[in-house]
């Protein structure tokens, strides 16, 4: 198994994370593949998943590489916090 970190692509015009409340802004997932990691995140999403009434389609931003990143976490790299998902009101 691998560890994956998923985060929204900031300032993406889709607006999936606006307004910011009732939404997930990141996941760390254990999965064999990026596709499986994205599916786990999609299943655990908040209101960032939903329906875009103007485009008349369903939004699944955790499945879409244009709206979210999914990067494998490894043990290599600089020491420090890997993810801090903080939103002040």
User: Is the residue at 27 inside a domain?
Assistant: yes
- DSSP-derived letter for residue 45 is -
User: Is the residue at 24 inside a domain?
Assistant: yes
% of the chain residues with pLDDT over 90: 52
User: Is the residue at 14 inside a domain?
Assistant: yes
Residues forming a β-bridge with 31:
2
Q: Is the pLDDT of residue 39 over 90?
A: yes
Beta strands in 1-89 (DSSP E): 2-8, 27-31, 50-52, 57-59, 68-73
Domain count within the chain: 1
User: Is the residue at 82 inside a domain?
Assistant: no
Convert the pLDDT of each residue in 50-88 to its tens digit.
765 555 566 899 999 999 999 999 988 889 888 888 877
Question: 3-class SS at 73?
Answer: strand
pLDDT of residue 28: 94
d(CA 60, CA 82): 24
User: Is the residue at 78 inside a domain?
Assistant: no
pLDDT of residue 56: 55
Residue-number span of the structural domain to which 16 is assigned: 2-73
């Amino acid at each position: 198994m691998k560890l994956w970190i998923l985060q929204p692509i900031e300032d993406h015009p889709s607006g999936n994370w606006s307004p910011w409340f009732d939404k997930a802004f990141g996941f760390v997932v254990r999965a064999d593949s990026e596709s499986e990691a994205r599916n786990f995140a999609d299943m655990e999403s908040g209101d960032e998943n939903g329906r875009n009434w103007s485009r008349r389609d369903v939004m699944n931003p955790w499945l879409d590489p244009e709206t979210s990143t999914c990067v494998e976490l490894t043990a290599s790299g600089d020491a420090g916090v890997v993810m801090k998902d903080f939103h002040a009101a």
